[in-house]
Amino acid sequence: MALATTTLSSAVAVDDTSVVVASATSFDAGRLVLVDNEVMQVAQNYTSGTTVDVLRGVNGSATVAHVVTSNVTHGDATDFSTAASQEIVGYQASRATVISSITATGTLTLPTAGTDARVILNGTSVIALTIPVPTKDMDGCLLTIVGNGAAAHTLTFTGGLSGAGSSYDVVTTNSTAPIAFTVIACNGLWNSFVATPMAGTVTNITGTVA
């Protein structure tokens, strides 16, 4: 059975033992469920309905809270990609990436130093997100913000992108289609990967910086 995607109809607390989804199509007992970074498994007593009993924190994933409208991807174990077996060598381990979902206007909680972050802006209602200045021990941290619906979100970078101040601190996404925006922390500043972040047009999907 192939992977399927729906969304959470209700927020999920850390100690919840069930999730409420928008669509229960293809849900079956034993099916794996991925919400943000957490893997769950549908309980063996599940038969039908959008309220799904689950086993939390499967496959060593952390049990965390999830906001309403977070993406829910589910499938059989064989539907999910698995890493090929690897020989252990003396290279540094890959950086951890924390995935979180945001539904309402607010201020982003910065990732821990040494960790990258992917933030999903849920739905088609406008979200105004404030991104604090990174601490200097966060050098190299990648922050990717992506919408799972089209909306004119505003991303306000405290102190401005690359420290440019209030003349270069707000990214406004176009409401035509979802887009993604990535910055990297260096020397206590968020820096974009292009000279003029999100300016111009790419297949009619635009963003502006003010």
Percentage of residues in the chain having pLDDT higher than 70: 85
pLDDT at 192: 85
Instruction: Name the token pair of 88.
Output: 């252990």
Per-residue pLDDT tens digits for 90-106? 444 567 889 999 999 99
The secondary structure element, H or E, covering residue 183 is strand 180-186
pLDDT at 82: 53
Per-residue pLDDT tens digits for 119-170? 999 988 999 999 999 988 788 899 999 998 889 999 999 988 888 887 788 8
pLDDT confidence tier of residue 201, bands split at 50, 70 and 90: very low
Instruction: Name the token pair of 43.
Output: 């309980």
pLDDT at 80: 78
Strands 38-42, 170-173: pairing kind:
unpaired
The CB density around residue 89, as the number of other CB atoms within 10 Å, is 5
Global pTM exceeds 0.85: no
What the chain holds in terms of domains, given with CATH numbers, is 4-78 (2.40.10), 96-209 (2.60.120)
Residue predicted with more confidence, 66 or 210:
66
pLDDT confidence tier of residue 208, bands split at 50, 70 and 90: low
The secondary structure element, H or E, covering residue 170 is strand 170-173
The letter for the amino acid at 158 is T
The letter for the amino acid at 106 is G
pLDDT at 86: 40
